[in-house]
Chains A and B, each alone.
Chain A
Amino acid sequence: DIQMTQSPSFLSASVGDRVTINCKASQNINKYLNWYQQKLGEAPKRLIYNTNNLQTGIPSRFSGSGSGTDYTLTISSLQPEDFATYFCLQHNSFPNTFGAGTKLELK
């Protein structure tokens, strides 16, 4: 099984900050990496698919990059509605596996 190591687990930041969240796969996942945002009590929402493709309707301040085993989600300028938990998902091969999550909190 492919293990996804997500970091950091917690992140404190301010409105307007640029933040990055990382996921490292235990083997090459060929850019089959998605990013999700989850707010308390809600279902996850896909932000980015296949490393760097922005889901329709998601603001352009969200972006993704990476290749091989290392992937990054960047939020260029944090907005109040961005404080949430973020997860990565590899869907290169079954079993699909998620990162453990990053909780982004207001500093």
Chain B
Amino acid sequence: EVQLVETGGGLVQPGRSLKLSCVASGFTFNNYWMSWTRQAPGKGLEWVASITNSGGSTYYPDSVKGRFTISRDNAQNTLYLQMNSLRSEDTATYYCTRLASADYWGQGVMVTVSS
């Protein structure tokens, strides 16, 4: 059974940093691209980042490019999202998803950016 478990969320002040983690199990992690998607409270979904299975290439929308970094440790079956220079509009539930086409989702982790 595919499982994705996110951790690392919380309350952070604007301008500060936070790093999310996602531990994967139930599939061969290093065979799959991975992604992060977020959902602001009461809002729709926004793709945040994707990374190739080797970690050699990464992709971001303009809204987070230069501030967020997706990475992975294939030996630890773990996906990361380093978020810098956080803004109030980054407040959302962040989901780890398998593939850029998001076939499986974690349960999500809440990030609140507020002073």
Interface residue tally on A, bucketed by range: 20 to 34
| CB-based contact B61/A98 at 8 Å | no
Partner among B100, B106, B108 whose Cβ is within 8 Å of the Cβ of A96? B100
Partner among B44, B62, B95 whose Cβ is within 8 Å of the Cβ of A101? B44
Contacts of A95 in B (CB 8 A): 47, 59-62
Q: Interface on chain B toward A: helix, strand, loop, or mixed SS? A: loop
| CB-based contact A34/B47 at 8 Å | no
> Measured between C-beta atoms, what is the minimum distance from A6 to chain B in Å?
9
Interface residue tally on B, bucketed by range: 20 to 34
CA distance A1 to B46 in the complex (A): 13
CA distance A45 to B45 in the complex (A): 13
Q: Interface on chain A toward B: helix, strand, loop, or mixed SS? A: loop
| CB-based contact A98/B101 at 8 Å | no
| CB-based contact B46/A91 at 8 Å | no
List the 8 closest A-B pairs by CB distance, nearest first: A95-B61, A43-B105, A96-B47, A98-B45, A91-B101, A94-B59, A100-B44, A101-B44
B: residues with CB less than 8 A from A are 35, 44-47, 50, 59-62, 95, 100-108
